[in-house]
Structure 1
Amino acid sequence: MTVATFPPGFLWGAATSAYQVEGAVDADGRGPSIWDTFAARPEHIADGSTGAEACDHYHRYPEDLDLARRIGITAYRFSVAWPRVLPDGRTLNRRGLDHYRRVAEACRQRGITPMVTCYHWDLPQPLQDRGGWAHRDTAERFADYAATVHDALGDLVPWWVTVNEPAVAAWAGHSAGVHAPGLRDTGRALAAAHHLLLGHGLATTRLRAGRHPDTRVGIALNLTVAVPATDAAEDVAAAARFDGHHNRMFLDPVLTGAYPRDMLDWYAPQADLGHLHDGDLRTIAAPLDFLGVNFYNRTHVRADPSATAGSPALRVAEVRPDGLTYTEMGWPVEPDGLRQVLCGLRERYPGLPPVHITENGAAFDDVPGADGTVDDRDRVGYLDGHLRALHAAIAAGVDVRGYFAWSLLDNFEWAMGYTKRFGLIAVDYPTQRRTLKSSATWYARVVAANALPAPDEGKM
């Protein structure tokens, strides 16, 4: 007996990103990225590590895709490393481009539909040296790069994500300084946010004009529900600011062609907004074939005049309410937040395009048993709860076409290094041995049935 059946043709996937899994940073002509530069400073990464080896997915992708096939996933979202394809940001490296064609072909051979992300944060370092995302020209260079990749892979890859989580790339990388390129500059953060979106719009236009007519283009935005810590007016206002800063600042230009007025008014005293040019918003609002939603947790906030929350003087602090379960990242487990996000999108944005959940997952302390198995019941519970929330949103009328678990593999978790594990597949980094976790076995049952198990069966 099942209680939650998903629509016919629903995509069941898992996701990775190049710098987090590939390793092989010097192989076949790849150039340095901003993450190579950032991670070379051990104080930037929790365990002093880098992505130089990671999961060696660059060489082991056939093995990893065989495991993905064992799980039964029907789609694999992976990113192309810009510095493999254009090491200096401009000049083609054919060996790098050919690698990704082999990956896409390997997916197809296993009955797995590839979804390519063009930018998952690994900007070529030479482009950063010329100003990076704070410089307008980077958006143009990105469109050229995306068109190059699409021209080479578009006959194999129907689904294209232009940019992954521009909010994180802008705020964490250019304001808080905790991600590459490690800047702490409000003006450059705001310029980077705009140019990431502009790059998305320019690339969308180029991909649509390409020679592959079956191309479907979207962007992946990390969304949350901002929950005020109390009913006090200042906390409610803080939650509205956080929503504007984290959600609407990226949703509104993409879906409505305008930045939220309250956010422009908030940022204007802090930085020059001269990076906004006439016509940019029309470009950014190029129609989407789908909206990618990355969701991990709701965010509980309170007003704090001294706090920045890793952003331009937002005067908001995050809080951790008692009585909730938290992941190893310190994020609360509140599955209904996913339903809230999806139903909120449908209410706020008439004409919302179809949605794919392009990332959803959790880090837990995956301790292997004596026999090497990983019984990650907490992750099973997390995935089960969020898929039930997703099903509720579909039942409420939200057009969701697919779900991609984050992540296929344990991997280099950015500033957390290898201290946090999100994978359905465990990776023993010294030996590179792979092991399917209990969550992978559970997910395989869900994918095979296109439905969630009955509640008394669902959490193992």
Structure 2
Amino acid sequence: MERRDFLRASLMLAGGSMLVRHADGLADALAAKAPDAPLAEGAFPAGFLWGAATAAYQVEGAWNIDGRGESIWDRFAHTPGKIKRDANGDVACDSYHRYREDIALLKRLGVKSYRYSIAWPRVQPGGKGAANAKGLDYYKRLTDATLEAGIRPFPTLYHWDLPQPLEDAGGWPNRDTAQRFADYVRLVADALGDRIGQCAIFNEPKTFTHVGYWQGTHAPGRKDPLAMLRATHTVNLAQGLAYRALKASKASLKVGGVIDVAPMNPATDSAADRAAAERWYRFLNLWFLYPALRGAYPDGVLPSAQQASLLGWRDGDADIVRADLDFVGLNYYSPWIVRHAPEGNGVPGLDTQADWAAGGGAKADNGWAIDAQGFYAILKDMAAHTGGRPLEIAENGAAYNEGPDAQGRVRDARRIDWLRQHLNALSRAIRDGVPVRAYHCWSLLDNFEWAEGYTQRFGLVYVDFDRGDKRIVKDSGEWYAKVVAANRVV
């Protein structure tokens, strides 16, 4: 992509009608002042979009007001013993009421992109039928406030909060859920399409299918590997249907998906472990990408003779799952260590045992391995699978649990070091040709971290969950603001 085209695209994405109207002129001016030249180490291209991310259930609270319906996470978190310390997202960061303060924090950090998610049960409480006007009004206010701050709104349409009535009807393993999702997406697009230029369909479909339906440690808490496989296919059907619903509502809308990716390192150099790592690579990194871009699942994961029946594949599904995504969002946290497991794991033919906290070396406070080189490696890999599409880092961050000291300052130097390593790896990947145009730090706020409850803190901003009104920008947040201002690692 030529520099002027890159700059124009970045400016068009930056949010706000003034930026959009003047994108061509700004791009020309920047291109004239900054001719093509190799990026310095730790530097980023002109027009690179810096951002931060949150997710609805993790920050909004207000779980049962203004017509919001029950989600699978409400039901799961309200079940004793499912979440550490029996925490739940009933209040979380209270962002439903305090979203303007959160946007003021984004503005203080200087970021130009806010990745947030839209809660399906707030928009469509029962998972079907008419929209809840109060729910849509909230997301209109949130989006308008983001634009008013000169920040690009970047909504994700599903970040794991399925309406509980749809789970009662079978959940994601039920093929009908794909059409229900497409109907919901159309409601959102028709309501917000005049405000947004870009959105993501799903966040980490691997996580909410594998961990929710196979491992059972996330909502809805099922442990059925065959149901998980059917769920993955329903999600791919839903992605294709949602893509077309969004384009039908607003043809100019740029639509993508967000997948979590990681290198897969064999536990040993044995041929069996290397083959297992390759199977796991395809199942985690490509399973929700290839159907959209190629109309088929990656080979070498499920037994070919059984794949269609295991997934519930029907004639015509190749056309339904296809979605010519405008961009691909990538989340990265840690690599996996994979070994061959001849005893099986419940998924026919997969025969793997995998762990992303195994092995020695440094770890974050939640036990996840630290490997910035793995970030570089997977970016290089994924660029070869995404057909030259623009990439956005939709999530990247680490859990470090420092709290305020006696002076009220959060000195989280370990997070700064983690971010510095990973941003240097990202800069290197861009210098080596990977087309990443945006980075969103996970997370803007300390928040409800799913099964971990409030025990793990990923935020650039400290939140006192006993006093929801107390927010403190951590040292890492102040450091990140300097990176954003300099457009390079400092």
Shift of 1:21: 0.5
Report the secondary structure of 2:155's partner residue: strand
Alignment of 1:22-421 (within 5 A): 22-90=60-128, 91-210=130-249, 212-265=250-303, 268=306, 272-273=309-310, 275-306=312-343, 308=345, 314-318=351-355, 323-349=360-386, 351-421=387-457
Shift of 1:365: 2.2
Aligned partner letter, 1:360: N
CA RMSD of aligned residues (A): 2.0
Deviates more, 1:83-92 or 1:3-12: 3-12
Report the secondary structure of 2:85's partner residue: coil
CA distance in 2, matches of 1:309, 1:43: 25
8 Å contact kept, 1:253–1:259: yes
CA distance in 2, matches of 1:311, 1:335: 33
Shift of 1:308: 3.4
Shift of 1:149: 0.5
Aligned partner letter, 2:424: R
CA distance in 2, matches of 1:5, 1:23: 38
Report the secondary structure of 1:264's partner residue: coil
Deviates more, 1:3-12 or 1:216-225: 3-12
Given the two structures, how large is their TM-score scaled by the length of structure 1?
Answer: 0.94
CA distance in 2, matches of 1:339, 1:392: 7
CA distance in 2, matches of 1:267, 1:373: 59
CA distance in 2, matches of 1:288, 1:298: 26
Aligned partner letter, 1:88: G
1:5 aligned residue: 43
Write the deviation string for residues 334-390 of structure 1: whole angstroms up to 9, x where unpaired: 1111111111122345x2311000000000122321122111111111111111111
Shift of 1:200: 1.1
Shift of 1:129: 1.1
Write the deviation string for residues 316-340 of structure 1: whole angstroms up to 9, x where unpaired: 1427565511012211111111111
CA distance in 2, matches of 1:427, 1:311: 44
Q: 1:264 to 1:312 in 2, by over 3 A?
A: closer
Identity %: 46
Deviates more, 1:197-206 or 1:306-315: 306-315
Following TM superposition, the consecutive aligned residue runs of length 4 or more in structure 1 with deviations greater than 4 angstroms are 309-313, 319-323
8 Å contact kept, 1:309–1:315: no
8 Å contact kept, 1:172–1:310: no
CA distance in 2, matches of 1:311, 1:35: 29
Shift of 1:238: 1.9
Report the secondary structure of 1:401's partner residue: strand
Q: 1:366 to 1:122 in 2, by over 3 A?
A: same
Shift of 1:266: 7.5
Aligned partner letter, 1:104: T
Deviates more, 1:60-69 or 1:307-316: 307-316
Q: 1:310 to 1:320 in 2, by over 3 A?
A: farther
8 Å contact kept, 2:336–2:354: no
CA distance in 2, matches of 1:414, 1:309: 24
5+ residue gaps, structure 1: 454-460
Higher relative contact order (CA 8 A, sep 6+): 1
Q: 1:129 to 1:67 in 2, by over 3 A?
A: same
CA distance in 1, matches of 2:359, 2:202: 35
Shift of 1:300: 1.5
Q: 1:181 to 1:266 in 2, by over 3 A?
A: farther
CA distance in 1, matches of 2:203, 2:93: 21
